[in-house]
Amino acid sequence: MVSKMEEILKEIEKVINNLELNSQSQIKELLNNFLKTHLNRSKIDNFIGDYPTFIEPVYLEENVKIGDDVLLGPNVFIGKNSEIEDYVEISNSIIYSDAKIGENIKLDNCIIGKNSLLNCANINIDNCVVIGDVKNKEDLHKIMFKFK
């Protein structure tokens, strides 16, 4: 049976895969609604890593890898097989499955698409959707979709 949470995640995925200029307010509302209403409990019992810091609620699907000195939460969902490298801080965000967030990145209010790769250290990213590969700041500015 598909849970309400999975249902909403699929709905958001559909919207971020068909972004239009006027999608901004819709995404903002969907993300807010998901984080405040559907992400109402933590699930952090099944990750691969040493000792990250969690501020509730944080929901990790199976096989999520987490590096050192990572701060997750509040309001974070991370899909299965995703990897969070060292010194990352994430709050108010959805990371879909099989994504990789490279070292020293700070995310707030973001949605990172399935299979995406964020690999440009020392950057703060907020209020945006990122789908695809980011290997430097130029890539990021090309592909990110700001919604605020």
Interacting residue ranges for other proteins, rule: CB under 8 A: 42, 44, 50-56, 73-75, 91-92
User: Which string of b and e fits 10-40 if b means at least 16 CB within 10 Å?
Assistant: eebbebbeeeeeebbeebeebbeebbeebbe
- The distance of closest approach from Cβ of residue 128 to other proteins in the complex, given in angstroms and rounded to an integer, is 18
* Residue with smaller CB distance to other proteins, 52 or 102: 52
- The distance of closest approach from Cβ of residue 53 to other proteins in the complex, given in angstroms and rounded to an integer, is 5
* Residue with smaller CB distance to other proteins, 13 or 103: 103
CA–CA separation, 56 and 41 (whole Å): 7
CA–CA separation, 34 and 147 (whole Å): 16
Task: Read off φ and ψ for residue 2, nearest 5 degrees.
Answer: -85, 125
* Residue with smaller CB distance to other proteins, 48 or 55: 55
* Residue with smaller CB distance to other proteins, 101 or 117: 101
Contacts of 19 (CB under 8 A, 6+ apart): 129, 145
- The distance of closest approach from Cβ of residue 1 to other proteins in the complex, given in angstroms and rounded to an integer, is 26
- The distance of closest approach from Cβ of residue 56 to other proteins in the complex, given in angstroms and rounded to an integer, is 5
CA–CA separation, 47 and 63 (whole Å): 6
